[in-house]
Amino acid sequence: MRPTVSPTLTRLTRAALTLATLAVASLSCRDEVASFEERRTDGPRGQLGQLTFNTGDDRSPAWSPAGDSIYYSAAGAFAGLPSDQGVLVSLPFAATGTLTQLLPDFQSPDDDRRMWLVSPLPSPDGQRLAHVEIAALWDIGLFCSAGPVASCTPPPDSAPLPPLQEIVIRVSPLGDARLDTRSLTVRFPGVVLDARTAEFTVHDYPFQQLFAGLGAFIFQPSWAPDSERLVFSDGLRLLIWEVGADEAVPVPGTEDGVTPAWSPDGEWIAFSRLERADSLERFCVHPGLIPCATQDRLEYVRGGSELELIRPDGTDGRTLGSGFDPAWSPDGGALFFRRGDAIWRAAVDGSGVGLVVHGAADGWEPAVSPDGRFLAFSRISGRGDYDIWVISLASE
């Protein structure tokens, strides 16, 4: 016998089904109250032109391997830090996003380890980040007692000490620059302390004057394509450091070589060779009750440097003409470099030299994006500080 369904149940079921259908149809969710969306990315960010506006110096741009961010060192962008200190940051090269600080701990105002961090450089495989820590600069006051000025000619202020004393090249995982670091300490030549006489002698080499005068990061390292080696300069030559090794190996034939750049195929190293002059002067650096220091000043031709290529083993050196701060195009066929007051481009064989005309005037530290479409560089703004700029190479 077929069970009978209660009429009440039938009505209830039908009513429920009807209402459920209507409810689903009617309760299609309308939008909730939208949260405020901050319009913080309008303006030139992500467009070509000036990328950073920091009132401190933004220097030594380097592209991420994917070409979506630019790494650079920024000075004075963060509250609580003196304006002359730099931190490493990355900035998305896109329509959104703000910079990310890479080494917050090192820059804590209360941290004795605080250093001046420059030249962040991601490895080609995207696994590592190299950067340079500029340790304490030379300060004669650490060695000599202050005393009355006796017979200094010219006065000491016009003959300061060469600043660079020591840097540390540090390599760390790209994701967290505080972990698992490998480092190499590089001492710059030129300052010799005679412990017996308490005098020290200073040779003010051109790289020191270039650093002191223009703030050029002559020691900026460059990755080999294998992401295992770095080439850098100690001011008087290039050296190759196999990351993790205790010492770096000099590259023969690179005297006075600075700002090296390893080619994408690993076959060449481009660098700038500073030109020396012959004049030699002797200065009283810091007179006191007893003579404390003397300085041998070695002049160089200001702005004079040659762009050269050399094999990593020091062979097959070639000169490409005047130039400074070279950067390779991704295909290895061209070099971008500073000449005069602008950024130039030349083929590796030295041919096709031309000025990068669109917006790269007064540019320093060129860096070409991995896809070859953009050129990042630093430039002194109207306020007198360096900012990062990006231009398109498509029309060049």
When the beta carbons of 29 and 179 are compared against another protein, the nearer one is: 29
Phi/psi for 375 (5° steps) reads -125, 120
Interface with another protein, residue 36, by CB under 8 A: yes
Interface with another protein, residue 5, by CB under 8 A: no
Interface with another protein, residue 42, by CB under 8 A: yes
Contact 145, 289 (CB under 8 A): yes
Number of residues that bind another protein (CB under 8 A): 45
When the beta carbons of 77 and 174 are compared against another protein, the nearer one is: 77
Contact 374, 355 (CB under 8 A): no
Contact 94, 46 (CB under 8 A): yes
Q: What is the largest CA-CA distance in the chain?
A: 128
Interface with another protein, residue 178, by CB under 8 A: no
When the beta carbons of 23 and 280 are compared against another protein, the nearer one is: 23
When the beta carbons of 3 and 7 are compared against another protein, the nearer one is: 7
State which of residues 41, 47, 127, 197 lies at the interface with another protein (CB under 8 A).
41
When the beta carbons of 67 and 160 are compared against another protein, the nearer one is: 67
Interface with another protein, residue 11, by CB under 8 A: yes
Interface with another protein, residue 27, by CB under 8 A: yes
Query: Which range touches another protein (CB under 8 A), out of 5-13, 189-197, 307-315, 361-369?
Result: 5-13
Pairing mode of beta strands 257-262, 269-284: antiparallel
Query: Which range touches another protein (CB under 8 A), out of 91-99, 211-219, 221-229, 234-242?
Result: 91-99
Interface with another protein, residue 187, by CB under 8 A: no
For residue 255, the minimal CB distance to another protein (Å) is 39
State which of residues 62, 75, 87, 99 lies at the interface with another protein (CB under 8 A).
99
State which of residues 3, 39, 142, 153 lies at the interface with another protein (CB under 8 A).
39
State which of residues 61, 76, 162, 323 lies at the interface with another protein (CB under 8 A).
76
Q: What is the C-alpha separation between 142 and 162, in angstroms, rounded? A: 14
Long-range pairs, 187-193, Cβ under 8 A, ≥24: 187/234, 188/162, 188/164, 188/234, 188/235, 189/234, 189/235, 189/236, 190/162, 190/235, 191/138, 191/161, 191/162, 191/165, 193/143
Q: What is the C-alpha separation between 366 and 96, in angstroms, rounded? A: 23
Residue spans of beta strands (DSSP E) within 263-370: 269-284, 293-310, 318-322, 324-328, 334-339, 342-347, 354-355, 363-368
Indicate the DSSP class of residue 196: T
Residue numbers 55-74 binding another protein by CB under 8 A? 55, 74
Interface with another protein, residue 40, by CB under 8 A: yes
**DSSP letter string, 101-156:** ES-TGGG-TT-TT--EEEEEEE-TTSSEEEEEEE-PPP-GGGTS------S-SS-G
Which of 396, 347, 358, 393 lies closest to 372 in space, CA to CA?
A: 393
Interface with another protein, residue 98, by CB under 8 A: yes
Give the interface with another protein as residue ranges (CB under 8 A).
Answer: 7-8, 11-12, 14-16, 18-19, 22-23, 26-30, 32-36, 38-45, 50-55, 74, 76-79, 83, 89, 91, 98-99
